[in-house]
Every structure is written in structure tokens, then in C-alpha cells.
Structure 1
């Protein structure tokens, strides 16, 4: 499941912004005036999802087995699900022809609720994307710090010079010459 979630997260870079942009049209909701602001939101969401997916995949514990951790599933999964729900709530059109995927499924009585929920969820999705990117960056930095610390600790236990090293006298035109740097006349 964690391996599948990694591939879902990578595919969602393209699929979820497209869903938010035109997904409600699959339910028969009108596609009209909301396409302009959503045309600006969709690339922003794509970048946010790509950053989160990239920070997640950059971690060695994810990259090695090519599977996310359960932490990633718990943190990123609800955010991606919120983006799917957002695509169902965005109201498009005005007047009697206005609707969303929710109003198409439930009925025109849900128009006000769909509009309000879309506004709140849209803000939460964007802010949540920043928060999740920060969490994933922090996880990457903590993992990197632990790996570097382990390397330093391991290196501290090793001898600096190999015991089987052989040192021979240098040969050449300046072999045995000492170079001294002396102060000049003004210094």
C-alpha cells in the first residue's frame, strides 16, 4: 500500500490539478466563469504537490524501497483527498445554471453549502500544502542530519592513517629543499 501511495502521489501532480479544473464537468456541472481563477489555482496546486512529492522522494528511507512511510500516508493522504473533494465543491456558472459536482449529485439545494465549503476548503488546501511541504522538508533535514552524524561517528572511530601506509623519500629537483616565507623589506 505504501508503494502504491508513492505512485499515487507522483501521478497526482498532474491528475489532481486537472480534476480541480475540469473534473466537475464529468458530473454534468457547468464549466464557465470559474475556469479563470481555477486556471490560476491548478498550476499552483501542481507545483505544491510536486514540491511535497519531491521532498518526500528525496528522503533515503522512501527512495531506497520506493515506498512512502506510514507518516507520509497519514500526513499527505488527507491533503490529497481534500484536493479531490475541492474539485467536487467548486461552483461554476451563475444564476439558475450554477452548479458543482456536489449539486449535480445531491441537488440544487446544496449550492450555497457547496460554495461555502469550496471557499473554506480551497484556503485550507493551499495553507495545508505549505504546512505539509514544511513537514516533509523537516523530515528530509532530520534524516540527512542523522545520516551525516552516523557517518561522522563512524569516521571518528577509524584511524586517520592506514597502518599499511608506506612513506618514501621524495625524489626530484627540489627533494630535501625547505621553503621559507620571510617578511619583505616593508613588512
Structure 2
């Protein structure tokens, strides 16, 4: 549970930390031209928005908000995605392209799995709500008691109304 909670708290800070890591990694490890830095300046805001979108979809699930922990699928995909971003930030010659392709594929997988989990959980909650409404809308049939409560005497009070 600790790992799932850690990823819950890492969702939104990672949207800032990982794009910043790409800029720091380019300054430290890149041997490319200024054009690659310009491409990175375009990539970082896109990565920031992509991570915010995925984090928002994950946080939209009620189970995540209540437990303050993401699912194991989220942990797996987000961990792999984050690792590819970190790997990309080292700007290893020949491997940067593979990290980029793998990062894009992992973003797509993370996005769709998070959306699928949100829709599945929402569908379950909506079905439970409609079932409760249907139970409440059914006419209540009074149940006959198995045995009469009292066979004793009954007191009847009649009201008299005088009509003028």
C-alpha cells in the first residue's frame, strides 16, 4: 500500500519535476545542437500537460481519492513512463529515439488504462445508484403478519357531529 500511496502523491509533482529534469539533463549530458534544445523547449510543456491529464484522470476516480492510493496498473504504467522520461533525460546517443518512442507508447497506454479504469468504476457506481432508485420506486406491498397481533377486545370511538 505504501508504494501505491507514494505514486498518488507523486502524480502532480512529477508533471513539474520530470520536464525540468529533461532541461537539466540536456544541459548536463547533451552534445546536440541548439535545435535539439529548441525541440526540448516545445516538448517540455507538452509533457507537462500530458502528465497533468493522466494525473487528472487518475484522481477523478473515487476509489483513488478515498484511499489516497492509485491502482497497481497505475503504478506499473506510471513507473515505466517515468523511467523512460528519466532515461531520455540522459541523452544517450542512439538510445534517445528509442526512449522517445517508448515514452509516447507508454503515455498512450497509461492514458487509456486510466480512462478505462475511470469509466469502469463510474459505470459500477451508476448501476448501483440506478438499482437503488429502482428499489425505491417499486410499490411497497404490505406484508401480511404471520399471526394476528391481537384477538382481544377493540374499543371503537364514534364521533358525533351536530349539524346545525
TM over 0.5: yes
Give the conservation status (yes or no) of the 8 Å contact 2:77–2:106. Answer: no
- Two-structure CA RMSD over aligned residues (Å): 2.2
Q: Which of 80, 84, 104 is the aligned partner of 1:82?
A: 84
Query: How is 1:149-164 mapped onto 2 (pairs within 5 angstroms)?
Result: 149-159=127-137
Measure, in 2, the Cα distance between the counterparts of 1:83 and 1:28. 14
Structure 2 unmatched ranges of 5 or more: 142-164
User: Could you say what secondary structure the match of 1:64 adopts?
Assistant: helix
Measure, in 2, the Cα distance between the counterparts of 1:71 and 1:28. 32
Structure 1 unmatched ranges of 5 or more: 91-113, 164-187
Q: Which of 10, 17, 21 is the aligned partner of 2:19?
A: 17
1:63 CA displacement: 1.0
Measure, in 2, the Cα distance between the counterparts of 1:135 and 1:13. 19
Measure, in 1, the Cα distance between the counterparts of 2:65 and 2:33. 42
Measure, in 1, the Cα distance between the counterparts of 2:22 and 2:62. 32
Runs of 4+, deviation exceeding 3 Å: 27-32, 159-163
Q: Residues 115-138 of structure 1: CA distance to partner in whole angstroms, max 9, x if unpaired?
A: 221011112212321221111111
Larger Rg: 2
Give the conservation status (yes or no) of the 8 Å contact 2:54–2:111. Answer: yes
Measure, in 1, the Cα distance between the counterparts of 2:106 and 2:22. 16
Most deviating of 144-153 and 31-40: 31-40
1:131 aligns with 2:109: yes
1:31 CA displacement: 7.7
User: Could you say what secondary structure the match of 2:81 adopts?
Assistant: helix
Give the conservation status (yes or no) of the 8 Å contact 1:22–1:31. Answer: no
